[in-house]
Amino acid sequence: MSDPQYDVAIVGAGFSGLYLLHRCRQMGMNARIWEAGSGVGGTWYWNRYPGARCDIESMQYSYQFDDALQQEWEWTERYSPQPEILRYAEHVAERFALLDGIDFERRVQQAVYSKPDACWHLTAESGQKISARYCVMATGCLSAPNWPPLKGYDDFHGNVYHTALWPHEGVDFSGKRVAVIGTGSSGIQTIPMIAQAASELTVFQRTPNYSVPAHNQPMDAQYSAAVKADYRGMRERAKQRIGGIEGEYNTASAMEVSDEDRTAEYERRWQQGGLLFLQSYSDILTNKTSNDTMVEFVHDKIRSIVTAPEVADLLCPPNIIGGKRMCVDTNYYATFNRANVSLVDIRTTPIDCINRQGLSVGSDQYDVDIIVVATGFDAMTGALNRIDIRGKSGTSLKDHWKDGPSSYLGLAMHDFPNLFTVTGPGSPSVLTNMLPTLEQHVEWITDCIAYLRNSNYTVIEASREAQDQWWDHTQEVAKQGIKQTTNSWYLGANIEGKAKVFMPYLGGFPAYLKKCEEVVANGYQGFVTR
């Protein structure tokens, strides 16, 4: 067995990769990050579109592994804008002296496990190679951009920008006619900003989405001080919540209160703003009748904000609320009252093609100068499948997953020894506050590697049986609510030809944490070590 160059190869320098490198070094391991971008920050490096901001509150969307860091860092707004989160990632990289452990502009093309030396061999698109005993894919859940399969991109006279690949120098919309395709979280954040800058904005909407106001505001100094005085307590309480977010969760059913009380509760929470609107009652995502009451409330809100009734109708989503990921906005619905904004329904008549002057939809032509594509991601599996990952049998991960992914805890896969994924399919990940979730994965993975070293094991692999059991459980839990009744990226339904399988673990962060702890307590139950 020859020695690899590194103990751990890490793919990606987002929040997972940075903490992985720091923790590996703390534990005396020799680790290296390969990162496709030219800087750290992952999601927050790539998604620089106007209006990009986190829709989890700043005091919670932050690392907790280092108390001095969480005490010293000052967030300036209730919801942090992208540039501030990127500065935070850069600060973390500098504070913990991580930059010399990262190779930038090194996109991994292939990762191959070699059985004879029990190592991973990574090759970059640019040809460089690296070997490591363990490989950790810290590649993110929402990082493989999805381009709409439209004809004519090259024919267009202007520029086309994807929100997830935004140019660093920004885009000047002044005096321009702009098209935005897509009305998910990214579109809903950027549309109000582009509307203010452009001469004309045309929004092409396939499916309307539910959005709750952010009511963003400058950080309240008293609130920040109160959180910091009990940061550890708040983080612990958050871990007991299904989504890993501390806040107000109602344990009552929407059906056990009067219509007046229910409407008053929705109104109170609408005025507070944010994702916890969905927690107004405990059964919004399990009882269709309860869900209907919230749908009706939000439809009424949309109709009260948008002055043109036919536009308001188009903006009212027909499906259940919370089936797709909820959006949080600033002035989204009101933007459609502006004289320079129009909405085009591409559900009934899809976009035919992009042409020299703009977009062709049925018999209508829309002449524009700039096209913004806000069509999301090949979620959860996309970033992994875009790398040629080959395990001990030589079969690629993509082939293993052609009928849908399967993973043990979203952490490891059978046939892929010594490979770990951060927030992979089968973990709560995208259904939770990603920062605490990824910290838990990083700690689990690095503790596991330390265990292997201390026990003189070289190889660890998820057993097929444990993987199958966990995956069956993941699918069983997904059937319990009404979330999977809506076509969404959770199910892979946004990508043509992708297997429709509910990918994240819907059982909640506390149940998942408990399972991960049990696996360790039982000597890495479900894993085979050699």
| CB distance 135 to 14 below 8 Å | no
Contact pick of 494, 498, 502, 504 for ligand NAP (by CB under 6 A): 494
**Nearest-angstrom CA–CA distance, 80 and 61:** 9
**Nearest-angstrom CA–CA distance, 174 and 101:** 41
Structure tokens at 494: 């946004």
Binding mask 123-162 for ligand NAP (x = CB under 6 A): -------------------x-----x--------------
Comparing CA positions, the residue from 343, 52, 81 lying closest to residue 186 is 52
Least distance (Å) between residue 452 CB and ligand NAP: 33
Contact pick of 55, 246, 283, 378 for ligand NAP (by CB under 6 A): 55
Total site size for ligand NAP, rule CB under 6 A: 24
Least distance (Å) between residue 201 CB and ligand NAP: 16
**Nearest-angstrom CA–CA distance, 508 and 505:** 7
Least distance (Å) between residue 437 CB and ligand NAP: 13
Least distance (Å) between residue 81 CB and ligand NAP: 10
Least distance (Å) between residue 130 CB and ligand NAP: 30
Q: Which is nearer to ligand NAP, 182 or 481 (CB)?
A: 182
Q: Does 431 bind ligand NAP (CB under 6 A)?
A: no
What 3-state class would DSSP assign to 408? strand
Q: Does 182 bind ligand NAP (CB under 6 A)?
A: yes
What 3-state class would DSSP assign to 189? helix
| Chain centre to alpha carbon of residue 450 | 28
Structure tokens at 17: 């990769």
| Partners of residue 112 on adjacent β-strands | 121, 390
Comparing CA positions, the residue from 8, 9, 113 lying closest to residue 392 is 113
| Residue 401, burial from CB neighbour count under 10 angstroms (0-12, 13-18, 19+) | buried
Query: Candidates 179-187, 239-247, 334-342, 461-469 — which segment interacts with ligand NAP by CB under 6 A?
Result: 179-187
**Which H or E element spans position 361?**
strand 358-361
Contact pick of 306, 374, 460, 482 for ligand NAP (by CB under 6 A): 374
Query: Candidates 102-110, 175-183, 264-272, 407-415 — which segment interacts with ligand NAP by CB under 6 A?
Result: 175-183
Contact pick of 39, 184, 424, 426 for ligand NAP (by CB under 6 A): 184
Q: Which is nearer to ligand NAP, 206 or 515 (CB)?
A: 206
Comparing CA positions, the residue from 423, 491, 487 lying closest to residue 244 is 423
Q: Tell the residue number behind the tokens 């979203």, with chain if given.
A: 410
Q: Does 424 bind ligand NAP (CB under 6 A)?
A: no
Q: Which is nearer to ligand NAP, 163 or 467 (CB)?
A: 163
Q: Which is nearer to ligand NAP, 189 or 290 (CB)?
A: 189
| CB distance 144 to 383 below 8 Å | yes
Q: Which is nearer to ligand NAP, 4 or 410 (CB)?
A: 410
- Which residues form the interface with ligand NAP (CB under 6 A)? 53-55, 142, 148, 181-187, 189, 206-207, 325, 346, 374-377, 430, 489, 494
